[in-house]
Structure 1
Amino acid sequence: MIRHVVMFKFRDDADADQRQAVHDAIATMPEATGVTEAYAIGPDLGLAEGNFDFAVVGDFADQAAYKTYRDHPEHQRIVFDVIRPAITDRAAIQLEIP
């Protein structure tokens, strides 16, 4: 199983509508790609200073399924058209889980 974790920091000028658009677009990915085993998204709860603003955690059966998700045209559209204009920083990792 491959776990994909990505975190974003929003631009200071990203308003509530833009942040919601990011959330709503990312929420469509499991259905759009059809390859996720588990998927959780959401804003940081603000429990610690310095955290990123938003996170995505997706589980995939194997590397091929993750790459299908990563390279899917709808995922690429969301990244370029919705996410990138709203963020300043991104951190990501893919790890193998039992």
Structure 2
Amino acid sequence: MFRHVVLFTWTEEATDEQKARVVAELGKLPGAIPEIRAYTLGADAGVNPGNHEFAVVADFDDVEDFLAYRDHPLHQAVIIEYIKPILASRAAVQFAFQA
């Protein structure tokens, strides 16, 4: 299995509506990209100061399936249209794991 984890911090100007749209649009991807095996996303719980504000965890069978997701036109459209306009910072990691 192969896991992709991405963390976002939004700009101060980002509205609740824009953040909700990111959630809605990302939430459509598992139904549109068959390579996704598991997909979890959510806002930070606010327990620890200094955290990123939002996370996506996506699982795939292998690196090739991750690359198909990464480069998929619908995924790229969500990034360009909804994430980048309100993005202050991003961190990501990908790693293999045993299910």
CA–CA distance in structure 2, aligned partners of residues 46 and 24 of structure 1: 21
Does residue 1:93 correspond to 2:93, yes or no?
A: yes
Structure 2: which amino acid aligns with 1:35?
E
Query: Which contiguous aligned blocks of 4+ residues in structure 1 show a shift greater than 4 angstroms?
Result: none
CA–CA distance in structure 2, aligned partners of residues 31 and 94 of structure 1: 22
Q: What percentage of aligned pairs have identical amino acids?
A: 39
Aligned length: 98
Aligned pairs for 1:72-91 (under 5 A) are: 72-91=72-91
Aligned pairs for 1:1-98 (under 5 A) are: 1-98=1-98
Report the Cα offset of residue 37 of structure 1: 1.0
Calculate the TM-score normalised by the size of structure 1: 0.97
Q: Indicate the SS of the match to 1:55.
A: strand
CA–CA distance in structure 1, aligned partners of residues 7 and 79 of structure 2: 13
Report the Cα offset of residue 32 of structure 1: 1.4
Calculate the TM-score normalised by the size of structure 2: 0.96
CA–CA distance in structure 1, aligned partners of residues 26 and 90 of structure 2: 14
CA–CA distance in structure 2, aligned partners of residues 34 and 60 of structure 1: 10
Segment of structure 1 superposing worse, 25-34 or 46-55: 25-34
Structure 2 residues without counterparts, runs of 5 or longer = none
Report the Cα offset of residue 64 of structure 1: 0.8
Report the Cα offset of residue 12 of structure 1: 0.4
